[in-house]
Amino acid sequence: MPVPATITDSAIDPLGRDDAAMSGHTLRWRYVFEGRAYEDHQLAQDRLRLGPTDQRRVGDLRPGDSLTVWIDPRHPGSAALREDRLLGNEPGQWLLGGALLLAGVAVAVVAVARPRRAKAAAP
C-alpha cells in the first residue's frame, strides 16, 4: 500500500573498494499510517529509480523531499522504496517474465505433442 513519506536523512555509502565503484544512499524517512508515526530506512544504489511513475533516482533525494513508500498494512512499521511486484518493478522485467512464460508453454506443448506423433506413426 502506498504511503506518503518525508526524507529525514540521506547518507552516501560506497559500494565497492575502488573509484569505479557505485555509491549507495542510506535513506531515512518518516511516514504516518492510521494516525501513528513511523520511521524506517533503506540502503539503495544511487542510480535506482523510485518507480514507473516517479522517475527520480535515489541519489537525487535530500532531507525534506517527499516520496511514496510501500508498506504492508498488517506490518506498517516496515516500509520499502518500491512496490514489490510478482514480475518485478521494471517493464524490462515484465517482458523477460512474459518471454520465459511463453517459452515454458511452448516446451510443454512440444512435450505433449511429441508422444502423440510417435503413437500415430507406429504400425
Q: Residues 65-115: pLDDT tens digits? A: 999 998 988 999 989 887 765 444 455 555 666 777 778 888 888 887 776
Mean of per-residue pLDDT scores for the chain: 79
- What pLDDT was estimated at residue 8? 95
pLDDT higher than threshold 60 for residue 42: yes
* Cβ atoms of 15 and 46 closer than 8 Å: no
- What pLDDT was estimated at residue 55? 83
- For the chain, the structural domain boundaries read 1-84, 86-123
Average pLDDT over residues 61-68: 93
Average pLDDT over residues 29-35: 95
Distance set, CA 103 to CA 17, 97, 107, 110, 115 (Å) = 40, 10, 6, 11, 19
